[in-house]
Structure 1
């Protein structure tokens, strides 16, 4: 009995430790650090411009080559990260504050279009890349997506639904995730297929991706807690 309780306690501690590191970055509630040295509180109802980098739940989203936008950029009461490759942006990088490894499992692409404020053409070339120790593990071409926050299951919208991006195991245990454009990948400045408007939301880090259609899975901790209590009850009845 004692050994069983020790094993269960250790297992539960490890599980809660893993959960405690999980984060869903939604670009509301974090701090946008501005190029002029100031700071801006990101939210679903306000926008921060001229952002050098953004920090939320122990993770940093860094704009390389230009200063961009965090927050309610679309006027849709939904905070996103939004950037423009034609402003000199060469990459956007995600890292853990202080360094270290993390898993990126999922995010929503809210804009990926050549046409500023308009429809995607279908030939946009932007990528998400998995890196560890300076080694590129995978480069994935992202789906074109018309401008503006539409949502992932908004059937009545005249715009396409915002694509859900599910990432492979190559994005597990990375130290950097990069977003790049055709010009930075192929070395063609001003490449015609670079996206003009590029936006994202809902990054699932160190946490399993939601099920399809964007409905998050049931509360894992609550289910685990009920099962845990039932297991203890059964053991003590037998004892």
Structure 2
């Protein structure tokens, strides 16, 4: 009875592990395809930096940049901060360095998703420097991909790392699009790691932890089997 119960629990845990891995996604901005405004393409690899980006695709998601005019410095993807880690970085039309008006995230197949949290690496009206606290950058949620159903003010953030995790509520569940824009002068705006269709850290074990738990339980099952021989 003990070994049967242990085997059942282990199988269940392993199934949960596989389920979490199958449905959750993290868009890291590494290993995806960048397309620039002249239709050139490239693959991010934690070292190269691309400017004048029109869209980026990774893990079934598309990130699009919109502009009020031409300026190659407005949209950037790659190791922009020089630390061996890819990010997206924009220079808004309200600031001094670019013409960016919106950054929009959708699923390539048009289906719904939950945007759970992401990493904010810059949100400052001082180019390349500390935030003033007066920055007004927003993230918006849309259930149909076009309507503005909910908006959330983002915290000010100094240029570069260390960064801040921004957690999103249920308003960002079952959306077809989320987008970012600003309501006042923001020079630099950077982001990393979009966590999609998964719980916030600490609420559900990570896939690796689940796998270790499953293997441990299988080990207990084997030990119980040996004792009962």
Query: Structure 1 length as normaliser, TM-score?
Result: 0.75
Q: Map 1:89-100 to 2 at 5 A.
A: 89-100=100-111
- Provide the residue aligned with 1:53 in structure 2: 55
- Provide the residue aligned with 2:188 in structure 1: 197
Distance of 2:13 and 2:218 partners within structure 1: 14
Distance of 1:93 and 1:102 partners within structure 2: 14
Distance of 1:122 and 1:223 partners within structure 2: 43
The answer to whether residue 162 in structure 2 is matched with residue 143 in structure 1 is no
Question: For 2:88, which of 81, 84, 97 is the aligned residue?
Answer: 81
Gaps of 5+ in 1: 1-7, 152-161, 183-192
Q: Is the 8 A contact 2:131 2:158 kept in 1?
A: yes
1:223 Cα offset (Å):
4.4
1:106 Cα offset (Å):
1.0
Distance of 1:208 and 1:225 partners within structure 2: 20
Distance of 2:197 and 2:107 partners within structure 1: 11
- Provide the residue aligned with 1:39 in structure 2: 41
Question: For 1:62, which of 61, 64, 74 is the aligned residue?
Answer: 64
Distance of 1:176 and 1:92 partners within structure 2: 10
Q: How many residues of Structure 1 are paired with residues of Structure 2 in the alignment? A: 211
Q: 1:97 to 1:77 in 2, by over 3 A?
A: same
Deviations 1:103-129 (A, max 9, x none): 111111100011111111110000011
Gaps of 5+ in 2: 1-9, 69-73
- Provide the residue aligned with 1:103 in structure 2: 114
- Provide the residue aligned with 1:190 in structure 2: none
Distance of 1:11 and 1:136 partners within structure 2: 39
Q: Is the 8 A contact 1:22 1:205 kept in 2?
A: yes
RMSD over equivalenced CA pairs, Å: 3.2
Q: 1:85 to 1:10 in 2, by over 3 A?
A: same
Equivalent residue of 1:136, what SS?
coil
Q: Map 1:1-239 to 2 at 5 A.
A: 16-17=18-19, 19-65=21-67, 68-86=75-93, 87-133=98-144, 134-148=146-160, 150-151=161-162, 162-182=163-183, 193-211=184-202, 217=206, 219-223=208-212, 225-226=214-215, 229=218
Equivalent residue of 1:32, what SS?
strand
- Provide the residue aligned with 1:185 in structure 2: none
1:43 Cα offset (Å):
2.0
Distance of 1:199 and 1:114 partners within structure 2: 12
